[in-house]
Homo-oligomer: A and B are copies of this chain.
């Protein structure tokens, strides 16, 4: 069991943090302030395995840190978390750099020849960024069995093989089968999973539901 830091108190952070606690890990959820109502509610819900703090508290606490902030605020949140608190740690980047300034559906703030995960890896070269789980609704991230008996696909990207192996173990503990976890390669492959969001939002619009995923058929 690990000490895990969650950056972000939205539904993604709450969903992943709750699952990690259910699995026996201890979680500090961090937000911009140390009296965030949603973080307090998370701690009240889970008791002693859950702790509240700032972004810096959560990063300092975690051996592994999940970035569950909104993509537009992720670099700022990590800056507040502090480079020393992130050093040598695995940062699981679940965020998508969605840009709502053009209206709905969102565009991306960074794409094509760069990605949010690469920006984070460049900014924190001593951290091990692993992009994961950003291609689906958060309910599925931690409970893939909700669909097709769990038989659908998730991706990981990152430069450090040991870090990817550790994240893969966490995904398996969430219910993902090894054969459905596709390692796309280094962190630049995050461009692919982040840009897929442009298709994801359109499929969601067509199905009128976010409760879907893709399965690679080969």
Residues of A within 8 A of B (CB): 102, 107-108, 111-113, 147-148, 151-153, 155, 182-185, 189, 191-193, 195-196, 198-203, 205-207, 209, 211-218
B198 touches A112 (CB 8 A): yes
B205 touches A185 (CB 8 A): yes
A202 touches B206 (CB 8 A): no
A209 — nearest CB in chain B belongs to which residue? B218
Chain B: minimal CB distance from A202 (Å) = 4
Copies in the complex: 2
Provide the residues of chain B in CB contact with A217, threshold 8 Å: 147-148, 151-152, 212-215
A202 touches B189 (CB 8 A): yes
Q: List 14 A-B contacts (CB under 8 A).
A: A102-B113, A108-B112, A111-B198, A112-B198, A182-B206, A182-B207, A185-B205, A185-B206, A192-B202, A193-B199, A195-B195, A203-B216, A207-B218, A212-B218
- 16 additional A-B pairs beyond A184-B203, A213-B217, beta carbons within 8 Å, are A107-B113, A111-B111, A111-B195, A147-B217, A147-B218, A152-B217, A183-B206, A184-B202, A191-B198, A192-B198, A192-B202, A192-B203, A195-B195, A195-B196, A207-B218, A214-B214
